[in-house]
Amino acid sequence: MRKIDGSRQLPNAHGRLLLRSTAQFQRWVNCLISPDMDMTRIMLVGMGGFLGSIARYVVVKTVDARLHQLFPFGTLMVNVVGCFMIGIVAGIAGRQFGGGENLRAFLGAGFCGGFTTFSAFALENHNLFSDRFAGVAVLYVACSVIAGIGAVFLGLWCARFL
């Protein structure tokens, strides 16, 4: 079956229609996303998240392998460093800096979003509580929250000098 714009829609094995043109795909995506976003920005967030996730994996594995401790220092480190980095990004976001919105999307939502690991943080705390290390879990929560918020303030303060 052909559409007016020349694209084709073919039913797949399940009877659903497949998208057969980039214009049609773009219209479909535009229905799902906010009007102030575009595919370039979405791709930048995805690429930043990809790189941030790789960086998180490398940092956590390296730190945890070197320290061999019960306390999850690697995850704590990426959470605090990620909070600091997002503070820097937010601090310069108010000014027009180089790449503007695209750079902020790549670094803030993308890289920092992929780099910080509060989902891993939650699971690690669950495991600590389950293994009856409640004191370590409470210490970990306190350190993460206090150091993370402090690092955002520090990042915002440092951004004033950039």
The stretches of the chain forming alpha helices (DSSP H) are: 22-32, 39-67, 73-93, 100-104, 113-115, 118-130, 134-159
Q: Where are the domains of the chain?
A: 1-32, 39-159
The residue among 18 and 32 whose pLDDT is bigger is: 32
In sequence order, the β-bridge partners of residue 18 are 10
pLDDT of residue 68 exceeding 50: yes
Q: CA–CA distance from 32 to each of 7, 37, 38 (Å)?
A: 20, 10, 11
Place 129 in a pLDDT band, splitting at 50, 70 and 90. very high
Higher pLDDT, 147 or 96: 147
pLDDT value for 1: 46
Burial class (CB in 10 A: 0-12, 13-18, 19+), 115: buried
User: Best-predicted range by mean pLDDT among 6-15, 87-96, 98-107, 152-161?
Assistant: 152-161
Distance (Å, whole) CA 132 – CA 19: 52
Q: Are 107 and 44 contacting, i.e. CB atoms less than 8 angstroms apart?
A: no
**Is pLDDT of 109 > 60?**
yes
Question: Of 36-50, 129-143, 146-160, which range is least confident?
Answer: 36-50
Q: What average pLDDT does the segment 129-151 reach?
A: 95
Interval 26-54: pLDDT, tens: 676 666 666 667 888 899 999 999 999 99
